[in-house]
Amino acid sequence: MTTEEIKSALLGLSIEEKKTFIIDTLPELTKEVIKEPGFMLQLFPVLLAIVKESGMDLQQLLQFATMMGEQQKQE
């Protein structure tokens, strides 16, 4: 399957299927690629654009990230 065929198939999913796919696969997809130098610099603007488009306040995001970081330290 080509990248375009995969993209087309994913875009054809229902909203619920897209949400499930993202939650289920994003962590696993990123395991290998985040080890590559510079990849996070490519990914960050994409994630930032998603956050901005969602309407979420960046201050809220920082608070959430801080909270999640504290939870991980406790585990």
Same domain, 26 and 4: yes
Residues 27-61: tens digit of each pLDDT: 999 898 988 989 989 998 998 899 889 998 888 88
Same domain, 9 and 23: yes
Same domain, 24 and 45: no
Same domain, 10 and 42: no
Same domain, 26 and 57: no
Residues of the domain holding 43: 36-75
Return all residues near 61 (Cβ < 8 A) that are at least 6 apart: 51
Residues 9-32: tens digit of each pLDDT: 999 999 999 999 999 999 999 898
In this prediction the pTM is 0.69
- Tell me the C-alpha distance between 10 and 66, whole Å: 32
Same domain, 58 and 44: yes
Same domain, 43 and 64: yes
